[in-house]
Amino acid sequence: MTEVLAAETAITDLAGKHVLVLNWRDVRHSQAGGAEQYMHQISRRWVESRAKVTWFTGREPGQAAEDVIDGIRILRAGGPLAIYAQAAGRLVKTGQNFDAIVDCQNGIPFFTPLFVSAKTPIVQLVHHVHQEQFSTRFSPPLAALGRFLENSGAKAVYGQRAIVAVSPSTRLELRKLGFTGPIHVVPNGTIDVPATIGPRDADPTIAVVSRLVPHKRLDVLLGQFAAAARSVPKLRLEIVGDGPERPRLQQLAMDLGLDHVVTFHGYQPNAFRDSLLNRAWLTVSTSASEGWGCSVIEAAAWGVPCVALRVPGIRDSVVDGRTGWLAETPQEFGTALVTALEALLDPDTALEVSAQCQDWARCFTWDRSSELLAAVLLEEAERRTSTEPGVFSSDMSTLARFELPAGADLRSVLRRTDEIREVRGGVEVLIKGRDEFEASALLNRIGVVAAELRPAGPGTLLAGPGSGFTPSDAVDDQ
């Protein structure tokens, strides 16, 4: 895969600027997860590129009030809810010292536009929409308040400011809530793709890496696994991760008579996770909804396909029929599991699926994510100071392939968030917020008259131009 060219100046142009990140946890918090890892990996790369990054985040018992992690300054105060008041106070005092703000919305936004200058570029980062989850964690009055703050409250305060979603599914959920401003998709990165993998276990083995929390629905998995185990001899399930659901899930496994074939490993270091994935036949997901399937792509990096329910986030992470199999309902999950395991008994099929998994995983790098989010910040900064609003909210994108005329300045007609890659015979450009007609008119301005143009669906938007992986975008994201 060639290097990303489109946003290469974005991270360079961020050098010397001071970026504030608001997130309710940092990566050293005991409950830190994928959302914290996402912003930390990006922040670390910004610091390496000579930007200054400060986090306002919550503080749990035992954590220092101030810290430096990978060059990132961490200021901690307040618990899961008190952090919002603490952050507001700090913004009132020091908010004008920052050149840009990333407001990480973990269900409840920080409402930063209320506390800083209207010219300060603020990008709201959303991993997934929590409307349905509030009722599982809070009393009815608090759940109603949470739904209001995430929906109507956020729309009123942030207005047309840019939003970053980590997947097309999250963007779609935000559109359903009525957000009308620009929503950019900046996917997660993942682990490096190993050069060599395997061998797999002799017996069919399923590996799951997950926090053991209610919305992951591992109880559904255990029930469907019990049915699949009756059809697949010597089937095993290895679960890595911990959480409040662990005692209940262990009891359920015993009640289903699975305690001899299901192992709960608890929290384990990455080396253990990688060793387990390297031996596994499959990974699975029965989650109710996600912003993105981090563990799905980590498994894909090891050539391990996924059987999952077709839910937001996960349906973006699994390329159905190529890097895994999607079931429509929990009741169909067990059958899909058996079908997948039977398919993987064929060595040629297993090798082909494994290769496609690794090709898919190579599309997702933290370097690309860092460039894209930097481009969104800088584009928003330009909008804040421009006399022309320049707001675009179309979710249409176009993939263009062409030979660049000598002397043509492609950057002059593109937005910062558009992506370019060099490919054999020319360049590929992912032009965002424009349909094929608009893209053609744009390219004509620099003398490109013979471009191959096609709509870019969710898979292409995730993989990027020139990735070498061509997901089928025939089915719209829904």
pLDDT in tens, 266-276: 999 999 999 99
Does the domain formed by 394-478 have CATH 3.40.50?
no
pLDDT the model gives residue 453: 95
Phi and psi, residue 324, nearest 5°: 165, -170
Mean pLDDT of all residues in 210-237: 93
Sorting pLDDT into bands at 50, 70 and 90, what band is 474? very low
3 state DSSP class of 430: strand
Distance from C-alpha of 212 to C-alpha of 215, rounded to nearest angstrom: 9
All CATH 3.30.70 domain ranges of the chain, comma separated, are 394-478
Q: Domain 205-361: which CATH class? A: alpha beta
pLDDT in tens, 347-364: 999 999 999 999 999 999
β-strand pairing of 306-309 with 163-165: unpaired
| Homologous superfamily of domain range 8-185 | Glycogen Phosphorylase B; (3.40.50.2000)
Sequence-ordered alpha helix ranges (H) in 67-212: 82-94, 134-137, 140-148, 154-158, 168-177
Q: How many helices (H) and strands (E) does the chain have?
A: 17, 18
Instruction: Give the amino acid at 467.
Output: S
pTM greater than 0.85: yes
All CATH 3.40.50.2000 domain ranges of the chain, comma separated, are 8-185, 205-361
Chain centroid, CA 240 distance in Å: 21
Return the sign of the alpha-carbon dihedral for residues 417, 423, 428, 430.
negative
Phi and psi, residue 303, nearest 5°: 80, 20
Q: With CA atoms as reference, report the closest residue to 164 among 71, 56, 270, 291.
A: 291
pLDDT in tens, 374-408: 999 999 999 887 656 555 668 999 999 999 999 88
Sorting pLDDT into bands at 50, 70 and 90, what band is 106? confident
Distance from C-alpha of 211 to C-alpha of 228, rounded to nearest angstrom: 23
Sheet of 419-423: strand order equals 419-423, 426-432, 397-402, 452-455
Lowest mean pLDDT among 90-94, 239-243, 298-302, 464-468: 464-468
